[in-house]
Every structure is written in structure tokens, then in C-alpha cells.
């Protein structure tokens, strides 16, 4: 039966005329948001006018999937309560229900049994792919390829939407400086500029034009979550307003400007106020200054957690504080559904605040086309033909290759020759079909990634011998701590040594299991887990021609490997096509071009380490004769092992002819910087040319340098291209002592090069 909204069917033709039903997935969502604002508002208001207070509060309530929908209807306990709430229209959204059959069954209850037939929005963590998995987001960021990243989000959205979902809890845009924090794998690393551009690409990729193969994005975690003290997940955050505005917020602003439909707040506190109850973040900045029109969902149970934080007396108090602060939807605390109507009646929360939240939620549902057709995402045939499409596999393979970073390649050990060699492949991760899927890929099935072993077996000209060496075994990844899961078993060492001795080249795949990063997986040590370091050193003694392929979801500190191992390839957790991507890079069928989106420390004591740090009052002069009284360590250099923006290629690039068009500009003016980049090697390659600025003095202290532009150039051997960057007032703006974004007159240095240590430079001034 074709669904009809008898009560407000009048809005449907209008919605269709405006394109809410969705068509080809090409226009960025932003355009939809702008042109439809008024019409959508009118539609949302027309529904709002029909709602009781309880029904309004119900829209602000999100439940986790509570019921095996093909089984009997729940009769007791919390599942029965949730079921009753669904029938009453007291559930605005559900998470973790997926698959057309289940989504449809639950949607049917909401739209056919509730009084107002308001459809439910179905959310899920589609972080880097649904069934066909892309590299973890940190790895994708290493590509610096916005087009590829957008495409990857489109693939994820298409599979998720085909599976009945219409909302992903992504992108995570938390600028992350602390590799101990397990969730660095979910974001785009340490730089606000790179994070911002990637945030835009991901929002556009997920949302497309909101057609049936797109989903609403949810920008998270608003805000400051990555700054958890000592990298321990959920820990206290204590940061300055300066850091908040100059470092943390820019990617959120960029995502909001790109048209993201929803935001998620975060578990942490800011200035002593948990984000869920934080009006400065949600009301003043997001909905105020930025004029964000979508809605904010809490993080899982974060409303209730305000009690543990010591910020709320009980759940009712927490609900009051969250609602008043502008947190629109409650994920799994039941704070709103249990207390918000009473709080309104008692005058503790104004009905206007509730109306505002509900209007925002209804708007998103209208924009997604759910009022036109609540089953828009529920097409079994489409589900079948979309999930796992060949072109999606090709897309994630392309993304995976672009995400790989070549960290070291002494004596050109790589690429490997394709014929007549004996290769020893060592490491449990080389033969793992689950770990490459990484963390946060709950829609995908275990064992569905191509392993490195399988990838390398495609190259039949060499003799390949595999030896496990040592396990990186995981028990239950959620309940067993890492100390228990790391094996101490060295019984496989002898076989690995034997294989290494007989080989021309040894490829060792070592690192973290895909589930050793992600939420709740903070580490205090950034070395290779378990006995892998010992395995590496033992094998190296047997045969020093080692190529180390790293699998990890965070920067690792591997000083011994950096010094001794001749070739190191950063291969992260690369998703479904991981093994093919790694093999194609090792054999030179793809020339690596990735650049690190996070600094790799020399040891864990340097963390947090990031390139865009402040100079301090005692920056030192770098001379060996210097006294100890400057900002440094006595036992390790200040510099990272591998810098932000760093990455090698199988070819080499030469930068020359660096020019600046003028040495000063004023308001509304600009200058250009040009540089010639030449491929001086023997194979074609891609170089990501980066531009950094340093502001010498200002009303507040500024970083030593900040990324402000990048462009990839692909060059044939011997070819030269000129890269041009424009520098204008916008680019030098920052959150100043006046607490506004502005460009202050002063002196700047511009640097251009292939990483954050770029040396070509020139000074310029900005005049009033």
C-alpha cells in the first residue's frame, strides 16, 4: 500500500516539486538547504502545529535498536516500553537498526500506528564504509585527495542508504594531536585546515543532493573531545578559548557551511560544562554565530553522563540543562522522554525551546524526503543491487592506494622486482582478512578484506613464502583489555627467521590490529604491541633487507625501525581492498603519494606533538653550544620522527623558481606565490605541494607555521609544472584578542614545499 499522510498530505506535492524526493546525486547539499529554507520551515511548522507536548518531546528521543523485529513483539522490560513509545510517536529516531526489512518494519509501526504518522530517521555509524570498506578516515586524510575522499563518502552513503539508513554519524572532524587517543583513526589528523577541507568533502559525499542513495551527515564531536587529557578516552578536557576557536572549531564551521544537516555533541566537558549541556557551544556558536539550521544529537548517553560529571543532580536536571543548552535529540539517555514534558509544564524549559528543537528535527526529515515517502530508503531490489557493487570495490581500492605513505626507502629497496625473487612475507597481520577493515566498520562482515598475503599472491613471478612469526591476537575486543590480548608466544620466530634467511627481500606486516584503535582504545605506549618489536629485530638480524609495512590506526613511535629498517610503508588499515592496494604499491604498480596527516613521534613522551605548535618564549637556536634553558628535552629531540605532511615517492621532486608577486598587500588585496615542481626521477609520480604561513607577532601568539593551501601535481619523468597559490586577507585571519576572526597588520613568512618542514620561503606584510 502506498503510504499517505492524511493529516498533512498538502505538503507532499510541494516537497516533490522542490526535489525532496531526490534525483541524481550530484548537487551539493548546501544548495538544497539554501533554496528550500522557507518552504521547509513552513512544512515543519505545519506539522509542529498538530503536535501535543508529548509528541514533540518524542521527536527529541532516540532509541537504540531494541527488538528483533522478525521475532515476537516485546511484552516486558525496556524493550516493551520502547515499543509502546514507538507506537505513540514518542521516538523521533532509532540507531543501529539497519537492513531494508528491519527498517521498514519499524518505520511501519511509527507511520501507521502513531497518531501523527511522523516517520523515524534511522542513524548508524557509517564511518568509512558500510559493507564495502574504505581506509580508516585518518588514512584517507593521508591522500590529501578531496575528490577521492568525497567519492569514498558517496560509496559509503550509497550502500548505507540502500540498506534503509538515512543518517550517518560522520564525519568526525575532531582535530587530534594525541596519538594515544584511539579515536585519532576516525578523523583527519592534527591540522585544522586539512580537517576543514576534508570535512567539506565528506559532507558533500554523504549528503549529495539528498537523493535515495544519500544520507544526512552528522558532524561530531562538538567540541573538544580529542583534547582528552593524556589521550585517555572520555577524560577531562581543559583548553583555552584560543585553542577552541583557532584549532578545534574551524572544521566544524566548514562542515556547517558545507550544509551538514546534523551535529553530535560530545562526552567531554569544556570550561567545566559538559558539551551536552553547553550553551556556549550549541546555542551561542553553532546555532547563533554560525546560523546552523539542522539539529544536534547528543552522544550516546551523554545527557545521563552529566550526572557522573557532577554537573547534574539527576536525569531530570540533566534533561533540563541539555534542553536549555540546545541539545535537540537525546541518544539513549531517556532523559527527554521521561522528564522534558514535565520540565516544560513546570516552566523550567520553555515550550519555545522544545519547538525549536522539534522544528529542526522535522526539517531534516522533510529534507530527506521522509514525509513524502517514509519508505524512500526501503527498496529491497535496490538494496540487493547496490551493496558490494564492483565499482565500489574499485573506488575503495583507489582510495586505499592513495592513502599509503612511503616513510623510508633506502637504497631503493622498493618497488620490488616482479620476477625471479624470493620474498618472505612475515607477520600475523599479513594473513588477516578482518584487521584491515579497521575500527568503526560495524556494517561490514569479519573476514571480508583482501589480506596482504592474497594481494601479493597475485604477483606470480616471485616465490612467496609466508610465516606468521607472532600473533597480534585479539580476544573479545570490547571486553578484554589490550594487556590481556597481546600474546607473548615466540614459538613462530624460528619459522620466520628461516623464511627470512632464504629470501632476497623480507616484507613484514606489523602494527596494531584494526580493533586496537577506535573508541575506548587509548594506549599509553605507541610501540608495536606484543612481541612484534622483538620479531622485527630478530628477523632483521637474519636478513636486513626488510620492508616494514605498518598497519595502524594512529601514529606509532618506532625509533629503532626508523633508524634500522631500510624501507617503511605506512599502510594503516586500508579497508576491503587493503591487500591489493599494498601489493600494488610494493610492486610499483602504484607510486605512493600519501603525506602524513599527523606527526609521528620519536617516543610517547613527546606526545602531544604537532607541527603547528607555538614558538614559546624560549624557542632555542638549535646550536649545540646552547645552554639547557630553552624549551626542549634532554633525552630526545623536539622534532618528530616523521613530520606532518611528510611522505616519499618512488620518484624525486625538485622545487625551484620560488616567487612571491609582491612583498605586501592590504585589505581586499592579495599576492601570489609560485613555484616550479619538477619530477627528477625515472617514473611518473604525484606530489602534494603544501603552503604554510607564519604570522610573526599578533594580539595573541600564533603557531610557528600553519598549513594554508595544498595542491597535488602529477608529473611524468622530467616534467615540470608551476603551482600557484593566492594569499589574501581571509587566509591570514585568526581568532584574535578581540575574540573575533580578523586579519591583523604585520609580518608573515610563507613557506612552500613537500612537507611541514618546507624551506623555500619569503616574507610579506599585511597592511591596514
- Cβ proximity to ligand NOJ, 152 vs 168, nearer residue: 168
- What's the CA gap between 286 and 707, in Å, rounded? 25
CA within 13 Å, CB half, 38 = 1
Q: Cβ of residue 229: shortest distance to ligand NOJ, in angstroms?
A: 17
Q: Residue written as cell 581506509?
A: 135
**Which residue in 178, 191, 233, 299 is the catalytic one?**
299
Query: Applying CB under 6 A, does 169 fall inside the site for ligand NOJ?
Result: yes
- 299 in contact with ligand NOJ (CB under 6 A): yes
Among this protein's residues, is 755 annotated catalytic? no
> Measured from the CB atom, is 171 or 529 closer to ligand NOJ?
171
Q: Which are the contacts of 683, defined by CB distance < 8 A and separation ≥ 6? A: 588, 591, 650, 651, 717
Residues written for the chain = 768
Instruction: Work out how close the CB of 553 gets to ligand NOJ at its nearest, in angstroms, rounded to a whole number.
Output: 15
Which class for 44: exposed (0-12), middle (13-18), buried (19 or more C-beta within 10 A)? buried
CB of 519 to ligand NOJ, least distance (A): 6
If one counts every other C-beta atom within 10 angstroms of the C-beta of residue 381, the result is 9
SS (H, E, C) 594-630: CCCCCCECCCHHHCCCCCCCECCCCCCCCCCCCCCCC
Report d(CA 611, CA 704) in Å as an integer. Answer: 8
Q: Which is closer to ligand NOJ, CB of 190 or CB of 299?
A: 299
In eight-state DSSP terms, residue 737 is: T
Please, which residue, 302 or 486, has the CB nearer to ligand NOJ?
A: 302
Residue closest to ligand NOJ when measured from CB atoms: 169
Residue 174 CB, nearest distance to ligand NOJ (Å)? 10
Please, are residues 134 and 444 in contact by the beta-carbon 8 Å criterion?
no
Strand segments (E) across 649-745? 653-660, 664-665, 670-679, 685-695, 706-715, 720-728, 734-735, 741-742
Convert residues 465-504 into a mask of x (bound to ligand NOJ by CB under 6 A) and - (unbound): ----------------------------------------
**For helices 335-345 and 351-367, angle between their N-to-C axes, nearest 10 degrees:** 140
Stretch 514-533 residues interacting with ligand NOJ (CB under 6 A):
519
Q: CA-to-CA distance for 691 and 752, rounded, in angstroms?
A: 5
Minimum Å distance from CB 227 to ligand NOJ?
A: 15
- In sequence order, the 6+-apart residues with CB closer than 8 A to the CB of 616 are 631
Strand 546-551 and strand 653-660: pairing? unpaired
Distance CA 588, CA 573 (A): 20
Does residue 154 belong to the site contacting ligand NOJ (CB under 6 A)? no
Closest approach of Cβ 354 to ligand NOJ, in Å? 24
Q: Which is nearer to ligand NOJ, 265 or 551 (CB)?
A: 265
**Distance linking the first and last C-alpha atoms of the chain:** 67
Least Å distance, CB 217 to ligand NOJ, is 12
Query: Cβ of residue 300: shortest distance to ligand NOJ, in angstroms?
Result: 4
Whether residue 107 contacts residue 91, with contact meaning beta carbons closer than 8 Å, is answered with no
Footprint on residues 683-742 left by ligand NOJ (CB under 6 A): none
Q: Give the count of residues interacting with ligand NOJ (CB under 6 A).
A: 6
Q: Quick one: which of 36, 55, 102, 125 contacts ligand NOJ (CB under 6 A)?
A: 125
Instruction: For residues 38 and 624, give the distance between their C-alpha atoms in angstroms, rounded to a whole number.
Output: 66
Considering only residues 181, 206, 300, 466, which one is a binding residue for ligand NOJ as defined by CB under 6 A?
300
* x/- letters, 171..210, toward ligand NOJ (CB under 6 A): ----------------------------------------
Residue 217 or 406 with smaller CB distance to ligand NOJ: 217
Beta-carbon contacts of residue 545 (< 8 Å; ≥ 6 apart): 413, 503, 504, 505, 506, 566
| Residue 670 CA to its chain's centroid (Å) | 32
Minimum CB distance to ligand NOJ smaller for 299 or for 328? 299
What is the C-alpha separation between 590 and 398, in angstroms, rounded?
10
In the complex, what is the shortest distance from the CB of residue 169 to ligand NOJ, in angstroms, rounded to a whole number?
3
555-594 mask for ligand NOJ (x: CB under 6 A)? ----------------------------------------
Cα-based distances in Å from 249 to 186, 192, 212, 281, 317: 17, 8, 31, 10, 28
Grid coordinates 620519536 are at which residue?
602
Between 29-48 and 192-207, two packed helices, what is the crossing angle to 10 degrees?
Answer: 60
Residues with active-site annotation: 299
Q: Which residue ranges make up the site for ligand NOJ (CB under 6 A)?
A: 125, 169, 220, 299-300, 519
Amino acid at each position: 500500500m502506498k503510504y499517505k499522510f492524511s493529516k498533512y498530505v498538502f505538503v507532499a506535492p510541494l516537497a516533490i516539486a522542490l526535489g525532496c524526493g531526490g534525483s541524481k546525486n550530484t548537487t551539493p547539499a548546501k544548495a538544497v538547504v539554501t533554496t528550500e529554507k522557507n518552504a521547509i520551515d513552513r512544512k515543519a511548522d505545519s506539522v509542529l502545529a498538530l503536535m501535543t507536548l508529548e509528541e514533540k518531546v518524542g521527536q527529541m528521543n532516540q532509541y537504540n535498536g531494541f527488538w528483533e523485529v522478525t521475532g515476537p513483539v516485546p511484552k516486558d522490560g525496556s524493550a516493551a516500553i520502547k515499543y509502546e513509545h514507538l507506537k505513540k510517536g514518542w521516538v523521533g529516531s532509532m540507531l543501529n537498526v539497519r537492513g531494508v526489512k528491519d527498517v521498514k518494519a519499524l518505520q511501519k509501526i511509527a507511520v501507521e500506528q502513531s497518531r501523527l504518522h511522523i516517520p523515524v530517521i534511522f542513524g548508524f555509524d557509517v564511518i568509512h564504509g558500510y559493507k564495502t570498506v574504505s581506509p580508516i578516515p585518518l588514512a584517507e586524510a593521508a591522500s590529501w585527495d578531496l575528490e577521492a575522499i568525497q567519492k569514498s563518502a558517496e560509496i559509503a552513503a550509497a550502500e548505507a542508504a540502500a540498506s534503509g539508513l538515512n543518517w550517518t554519524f560522520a564525519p568526525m572532524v575532531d582535530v587530534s594531536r594525541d596519538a594515544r587517543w584511539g579515536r585519532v583513526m576516525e578523523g583527519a589528523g592534527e591540522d585544522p585546515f586539512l580537517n576543514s577541507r576534508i570535512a567539506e568533502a565528506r559532507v558533500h559525499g554523504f549528503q549529495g543532493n539528498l537523493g535515495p542513495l544519500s544520507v544526512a551527515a552528522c558532524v561530531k564531536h562538538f567540541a573538544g573531545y580529542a583534547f582528552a587529557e593524556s589521550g585517555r578516552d572520555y577524560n577531562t578536557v581543559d583548553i583555552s578559548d584560543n585553542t577552541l576557536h583557532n584549532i578545534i572549531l574551524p572544521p566544524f564551521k566548514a562542515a556547517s557551511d558545507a550544509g551538514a544537516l546534523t551535529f553530535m555533541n560530545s562526552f567531554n566537558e569544556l570550561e567545566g560544562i559538559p558539551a551536552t549541556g553547553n550553551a556556549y557551544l550549541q546555542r551561542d556558536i553553532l546555532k547563533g554565530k554560525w546560523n546552523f539550521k539542522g539539529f544536534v544529537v547528543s552522544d550516546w548517553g551523554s545527557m545521563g553522563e552529566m550526572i557522573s560529571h557532577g554537573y547534574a543532580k539527576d536525569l531530570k536536571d540533566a534533561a533540563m540543562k541539555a534542553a536549555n543548552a540546545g541539545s535537540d535529540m537525546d541518544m539513549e539517555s531517556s532523559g527527554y522522554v521521561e522528564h522534558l514534558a514535565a520540565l516544560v509544564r513546570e516552566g523550567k524549559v520553555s515550550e519555545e525551546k522544545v519547538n525549536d528543537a522539534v522544528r529542526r528535527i522535522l526539517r531534516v526529515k522533510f529534507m530527506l524526503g521522509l514525509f513524502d515517502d517514509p519508505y524512500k530508503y526501503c527498496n529491497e531490489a535496490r538494496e540487493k543491487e547496490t551493496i558490494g557493487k564492483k565499482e565500489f570495490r574499485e573506488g575503495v581500492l583507489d582510495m586505499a592506494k592513495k592513502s599509503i605513505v612511503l616513510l623510508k626507502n633506502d637504497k631503493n629497496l622498493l618497488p620490488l622486482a616482479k620476477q625471479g625473487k624470493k620474498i618472505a612475507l612475515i607477520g600475523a597481520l599479513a594473513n588477516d582478512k578482518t584487521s584491515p577493515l579497521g575500527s568503526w566498520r560495524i556494517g561490514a562482515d569479519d573476514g571480508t578484506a583482501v589480506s596482504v598475503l592474497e594481494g601479493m599472491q597475485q604477483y606470480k613471478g616471485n616465490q612467496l613464502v609466508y610465516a606468521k612469526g607472532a600473533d597480534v591476537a585479539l580476544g573479545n575486543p570490547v571486553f578484554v583489555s589490550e594487556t590481556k590480548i597481546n600474546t607473548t608466544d615466540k614459538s613462530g620466530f624460528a619459522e620466520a627467521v628461516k623464511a627470512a634467511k632464504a629470501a632476497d627481500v623480507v616484507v613484514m606486516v606489523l602494527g596494531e590490529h584494526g580493533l586496537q584503535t577506535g573508541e575506548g582504545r587509548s594506549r599509553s605506549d605507541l610501540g608495536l604491541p606484543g612481541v612484534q618489536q622483538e620479531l622485527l629485530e630478530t628477523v632483521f638480524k637474519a636478513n636486513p633487507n626488510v620492508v616494514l609495512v605498518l598497519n595502524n590506526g594512529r601514529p606509532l613511535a618506532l625509533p629503532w625501525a626508523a633508524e634500522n629498517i631500510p624501507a617503511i610503508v605506512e599502510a594503516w588499515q586500508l579497508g576491503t581492498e587493503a591487500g591489493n592496494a599494498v601489493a600494488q604499491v610494493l610492486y610499483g604498480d602504484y607510486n605512493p603519494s600519501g603525506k602524513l596527516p599527523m606527526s609521528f613521534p620519536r617516543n610517547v613522551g613527546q606526545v602531544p606533538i604537532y607541527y603547528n605548535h607555538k614558538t614559546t618564549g624560549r624557542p632555542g637556536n638549535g646550536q649545540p653550544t646552547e645552554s639547557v634553558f630553552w624549551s626542549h628535552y634532554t633525552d630526545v629531540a623536539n622534532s618528530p620522527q616523521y613530520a606532518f605532511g611528510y611522505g616519499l615517492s618512488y620518484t624525486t621532486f625538485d622545487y625551484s623558481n620560488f616567487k612571491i608577486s609582491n612583498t605586501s598587500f592590504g585589505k581586499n588585496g592579495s599576492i601570489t606565490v609560485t613555484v616550479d615542481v619538477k619530477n627528477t626521477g625515472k617514473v611518473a609520480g604525484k606530489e602534494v605541494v603544501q603552503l604554510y604561513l607564519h604570522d610573526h607577532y599578533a594580539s595573541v601568539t600564533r603557531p610557528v607555521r600553519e598549513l594554508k593551501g595544498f595542491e597535488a601535481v602529477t608529473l611524468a619523468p622530467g616534467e615540470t609544472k608551476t603551482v600557484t597559490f593566492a594569499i589574501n586577507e581571509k587566509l591570514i585571519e585568526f581568532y584574535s584578542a578581540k575574540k573575533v576572526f580578523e586579519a591583523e597588520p604585520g609580518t608573515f613568512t610563507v613557506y612552500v614545499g613537500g612537507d611541514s618542514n618546507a624551506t623555500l620561503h619569503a616574507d610579506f606584510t599585511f597592511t591596514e
